[in-house]
Amino acid sequence: MRAMVLRETGLIEQSPLMAAELPDPAPGPGEVRLAVQVCALCHTDLHIIEGEIAPHLRPIVPGHQIIGRIDQLGAGVTRFQLGDRVGVPWLYQTDQTCHYCKNGKENLCEHGQFTGYDAHGGYAQYHLVKAEYAYPIPEAFSDEQAAPLLCSGVVGFRALRLSEIQPGGRLGIWGFGASAHINIQVARHWNCEIFVFTRSPEHQKLARQLGAVWAGPSGSPEAAKLPRLDAGVIYAPAGPLVIDALKMLDKGGTLALGGIYMTPIPEIDYQILWSERTVRSVANSTRQDVIDLLQVASEIPVKSEIEMFDLAELNTALQKLKRSQINGSGVVRIN
């Protein structure tokens, strides 16, 4: 099968992903094989490729927002049939026996494995996954529209819920890439008043189009005049934004950090945290998060802004992602 493979980490500007021909995989018991149609870009891909998150497996095929059609069934699979369209997200599998799994926190599983990190991912013609970690994709979405929902959407959705924002509340969003432009639509569905903090004029424009009442740079004089916020989510991997966001939160507000990686957070003056403000990280997602996000996204329905790339353009696509030159979500055609 055709694939883009990471053998050694390096800056994406050095084009470390290499085209390769790998053996066609065959599903084992309980697994399905997908003929991959598309796979969406994610900042986590960049963090793995550039070594900010050390890969668990090398060589590795990255990619974890996969849409494909099942073309082979392993022994014992009854959940799906040949030809079914399914998606595969970041969470690849869990042990289902540890303390976290037994208490509804499988995203924190002691032995959790992740797509494109512990197992080959979606930047390849075929992908293997256990049937219970694949998800039927609602017919409301094309392949291209569905792919960004599976990590940008679902992990961002978990961050939104962990921010404890209530319907009608004031929400701040820092960074306006793939996750934010999906989940602003969920927050608007909840009738929230949304303030978006981003330096990019293109991202500011998109935020306003999607319902933000204000969009502009974090820490600017204009931002300082805004009302206090009930909750906030930081989608950008920039630690200094934590200070900016905490200064914007009302008493008792919660700030959720929606990334798997973030640069160092500066020293925090306790007075910024005082009055029961909360900062919490967001780690991965559960299977229930995927199910819930796909349901609410269908109800809205969520529409992703999409820029398409071919598999051979993957290094270039990720370079654009790094430079914040993709307005919305980047999606790679595979088959």
**Encoded amino acid at 77, one letter:** V
The Cα–Cα gap between 286 and 235 comes to 19
> Tell me, what's the pLDDT at 54?
82
pLDDT score at 335: 83
CA dist 251 and 231 (Å) reads 10
d(CA 85, CA 70): 7
Long-range contacts of 306-309 (CB under 8 A, 24+ apart): 306/144, 306/145, 306/148, 306/330, 306/331, 307/331, 308/144, 308/332, 308/333, 309/41, 309/333
Model confidence at 260, pLDDT cuts 50, 70, 90, reads: confident
What domains sit in the chain, N to C, each tagged with a CATH number?
2-151+286-333 (3.90.180.10), 154-281 (3.40.50.720)
Angstrom distance (rounded) from CA 188 to CA 6: 38
What pLDDT score does 206 carry? Answer: 95
How many CB atoms lie under 10 A from the CB of residue 78?
Answer: 7
Whether residue 280 has pLDDT greater than 80: yes
Encoded tokens for 38: 């598309």
Query: What mean pLDDT comes out for the span 34-52?
Result: 96
| pTM, 2 dp | 0.92
Summarised one tens digit per residue, pLDDT across range 118-153 is 999 999 999 999 999 999 999 999 999 999 999 999
Model confidence pLDDT, tens digit, residues 57-115: 999 999 999 999 999 999 999 999 999 999 999 999 999 999 999 999 999 999 999 99
The mean pLDDT of 289-306, rounded to a whole number, is: 96
Which band of pLDDT confidence, cut at 50, 70 and 90, is reported for residue 55?
Answer: confident
Alpha carbon distances (Å) from 253 to 15, 20, 78, 231, 274: 42, 49, 45, 5, 10
